[in-house]
A and B are shown apart, each in its own frame.
Chain A
Amino acid sequence: MTEVVLKLLFIVLVVAGGMLPLITWIERKQSAVMQDRIGANRADLMGVTLLGLLHPAADVLKLFSKEDVVPEGANRLLHLLAPVIAFVPALLVLAVIPYGGAYRFGDTTLSLVVADVDWGMLFVFAAGSIATYGAVIAGWASNSNWGLLGSMRASAQMISYEVTMGLSLVGMFMVAGSLRLPEIAAFQDQSFRLLGFLLHMGFVEGETLPFHLDLLRLPMWGIFLQPLGFLLFLTCIMAENKRPPFDAPEGESELIAGYHMEYSGMRFGLFYTAEFLEVPVIGAIVATLFLGGWAIPFLSQETIIAFVAGGFGEGFATGLCLVLHVLCFLTKVAILIWLQMALRWTLPRFRYDQVMDLCWKMILPLSILNVFVTGAGILLVEGVIS
């Protein structure tokens, strides 16, 4: 019980408490750098500006002190509930994402994930589809035509990309043989030989590859085993979050602010928080599925423990592994956050018909194709690379 609470506090404090304010700051600073501006640097506390790091705190204070306006004719209950429905699933997904492996200390095993469930990835999909309701209810409940248009677009876009998000991942499930996120991450904590086919096709004599050819390896990461799946899934999950370039539901130049235009103060703040919270959550999901999660490339857990345990004892080696793995995971998440920000400020917004065409006419056929190519690949060449 205490263990669960501690793990929970860790993820909530690191991701929601630490990363979230930083991300709002990084987004402003990175966009400023990309557009040759200085960026947010005005918020100061007795002359100290800290490069604009006080802005997240100022934002929160500002949101709290804004008037809470509910438009006339709005459904007051649903208007209040919508931001909560949008916010809760974003945080809930964090429970099933492993931020470290499983570690044996003496008799006890410490597994660094709050909820180690067989249906981990299904839970991510399910929570993601709950978030759709937040956007739809928000637009409908606020008695505004712009809001309604925005929520209609959000509903069609989010449910369309939900289908392809699931299908584009089937290839990864087949490769890893599980829907459990810790198992998928642990599966990627190994490497495969690039030249294994030489052995199987008889180009090399003997049972094993010569040492120098055996060195040519790649980590067993989803991005190498499922490159197409990675691209499709990243596109889908970014479209699911409705951030630019997929922000047709709230496109400010056509729909003012879309489904959350009649929201002010902290009610708007919750939508904003949910959207920003999704950025590290997406980073964590993609890192776990395709970038090996906590796995350090070419240095599997056994290798580290076997190497360090001799000199410093098993307990220290395992502890070192734990720290390195968590740091490695956070690094990967940070890289993916940077990638999302760079994409957001590089690409212009898709037109709405382009968003839907991309989903149904490009990603859906490609992801079905990916399933069968992967299947044939596993049956034909699995023995060759391992």
Chain B
Amino acid sequence: MQGEFVGLLLLLALALVIAGGFLLLHRLLSPRREFAEKLLPFECGELQIVSPHQRFSVKFYLVAMLFVLFDLEAVFFYPWGALFRELGGYGLAVMAVFTVPLVVGLVYEWRKGALEW
């Protein structure tokens, strides 16, 4: 098992070295001619009126909450799926019971309009 982690860590190190090396090389090779206008954030030729660092639509939080709910439930499906043959019909029945609240929740969100954009 240790050998597997060695491979993963080596690849992680390699990826970091490639990314870091590219950025460093770019730093060394690129020209630097900065002036105030160039450094302004791009806003189609206007000055920035509204700062991006403020609160924004709650819509995105809703998606994130739905994600947490459904992804947690999805994680239960993986080991169950891998062991499905051993669990057989009993496993399928149990999973059906487990899925009912999930589907009810989905229908509720759907009807409440949480999925509308």
Contacts and interface: CB of A to CB of B under 8 A. Distances in A.
Interface of A: 1, 4-5, 7-8, 12, 16, 63-74, 80, 83-84, 87-88, 91-92, 94-95, 114-117, 121-122, 140, 142-148, 152, 155-156, 159-160, 162-163, 166-167, 170-171, 173-174, 177-179, 256, 261-262, 265-267, 269-270, 352-353, 356-357, 360-361, 364-365, 368, 371-372, 375-376, 378-379
B3 interface: yes
Nearest to A73: B41
Given A114-B7, A162-B71, A365 B95 contact: no
Given A64-B25, A375-B95, A4 B10 contact: yes
Interface residues of B, number: 75
A170 B19 CA distance: 34
Contact of A69 (B5, B16, B38): B38
Contacts of A361: 110, 115
Contacts of A152: 56-57, 60
A94 B8 CA distance: 9
Contact of A115 (B7, B39, B56): B7
Given A71-B39, A115-B8, A266-B23, A353 B67 contact: no
A266 B26 contact: yes
Contacts, number: 215
A80 B78 CA distance: 35
A65 B56 CA distance: 37
Given A1-B6, A80-B23, A143-B52, 16 more contacts: A4-B7, A5-B10, A12-B11, A65-B31, A74-B41, A140-B52, A145-B50, A145-B52, A147-B52, A152-B56, A163-B74, A170-B78, A266-B23, A356-B117, A357-B117, A379-B89
Contacts of B84: 173-174, 177, 375, 378
Contacts of A94: 11
